[in-house]
């Protein structure tokens, strides 16, 4: 191998290392995004657990919508069915 060949080989290695660096940075970024998504999902779940353990809000709201999403959805008075999740409302308004 001549000195020039060695230099070319080194340039090629540097180029590949640069590509690998870009790939790993992108992967790290996507893992951080995923980690943050799971973090928020877990926080939502903990809030739902808290609502499930506590009393339901007064006024005949759908317990499923309340516990899962913290939404106070009134079931329709005539059918007693939640308009949002379709759950049949069992408690009296």
Q: Is 67 near Zn ion (CB under 5 A)?
A: no
| In the complex, minimum distance from the CB of residue 62 to Zn ion, in angstroms, rounded to a whole number | 3
Per-residue x/- mask for Zn ion, residues 27 to 66, rule CB under 5 A? -----------------------------------x-xx-
Q: Rank residues 26 and 90 by Cβ distance to Zn ion and give the closer one.
A: 90
Burial class (CB within 10 angstroms; exposed 0-12, middle 13-18, buried 19+) of 64? middle
DSSP state for residue 91 in the 8-state scheme: S
Q: Residues 60, 89: contact at Cβ < 8 Å?
A: yes
Q: Residues 69, 47: contact at Cβ < 8 Å?
A: no
Residues in contact with Zn ion by the rule CB under 5 A: 62, 64-65, 73, 82, 84-85, 87
């Amino acid at each position: 191998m001549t000195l020039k060949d060695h230099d070319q080989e080194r340039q090629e290695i540097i180029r590949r290392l640069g590509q690998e660096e870009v790939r790993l940075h992108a992967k790290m970024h996507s893992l951080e995004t995923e980690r943050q998504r799971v973090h928020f999902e877990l926080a939502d779940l903990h809030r739902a657990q808290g609502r499930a353990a506590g009393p339901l809000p007064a006024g005949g709201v759908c317990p499923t919508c309340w516990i899962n999403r913290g939404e106070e959805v009134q079931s329709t008075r005539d059918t007693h069915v939640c308009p949002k999740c379709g759950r049949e409302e069992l408690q009296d308004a």
